[in-house]
Structures are given as structure tokens and as C-alpha cells.
Amino acid sequence: MPHDLNDGDQVKLLQIAKIHHDDLTPEFIEYDTTILDGGNYELPNKFLLLLIFISEKDEGIFTTLRKLSPEKEKFYRDAQGELFEVIINAHTGSEKPQ
């Protein structure tokens, strides 16, 4: 997530895609899983959801990965084009829909 985003900022979900862990570069995994207060979040070695967001603040694009489940895929597919509120959690980071 861009460092200039703050709690309460708005981001729009542009696109989601299924991607397998094996297709991700080590650099992308490092980028996506870094925890703000240190360490890395563990990703399962299977298919994941790649979420692509655009910031309403500065139009910067960023990505994040989510574990894949039928419920999550439906939720995020239905939410494409919708605004989400940024909620920063130093341990994991997350966004919630408006």
C-alpha cells in the first residue's frame, strides 16, 4: 500500500484476478506481505486473489493479495468499481468497503 495513504482515505477497486502463488515473483511477495511493524505475512502456496486499487487521493495504483475462497471472490468481483475505506493495521493492513 502506498505510504501516503491514511486511515479514512478512499480507494476504488479497479480489478480482481486469480493468480497462483507460484506465478508471483519473490519481489512481489516481499512487497505485498511486508508488515509495517516488521516481518512478513505468510501466503498460502495456492491460488490467491490479486486486488488492484486506485487511490482517490492521488490516483496512485496499488495491489494487495487475499486468500481465495468462493465467498471472497464473489464479494470482491461484485465490489469492482466500488469505493473502500482504508484502515491501516500495523500488523496486517486492511481495507473495508463503504
**Residue 50 within a domain:** yes
* Spatial contact of 14 and 53, defined as CB atoms under 8 Å apart: yes
Q: What is the distance between the alpha carbons of residues 32 and 65, in angstroms, rounded to a whole number?
A: 7
Q: Please report whether residue 46 resides in a domain.
A: yes
d(CA 32, CA 41): 8
What confidence tens digit (pLDDT) does each residue in 65-74 have?
999 999 999 9
Q: 47: which 3 cell numbers?
A: 491460488
Q: Is residue 30 included in any domain, yes or no? A: yes
Domain extent, residue 31, equals 10-97
pTM of the model: 0.81
- How far, in Å, are 6, 22, 50, 51, 90 from residue 87 at the CA level? 8, 29, 18, 16, 10
Tell me the pLDDT tens digit for each residue of 47-64.
999 999 999 888 889 999
Question: Look-up: residue for cell 511477495?
Answer: 29
The pLDDT mean for the chain works out to 87
Q: With respect to residue 2, please indicate whether it lies within any of the assigned structural domains.
A: no
In a domain, 26, yes or no: yes
Name the domain count of the chain: 1
Instruction: Flag whether 3 is in a domain.
Output: no
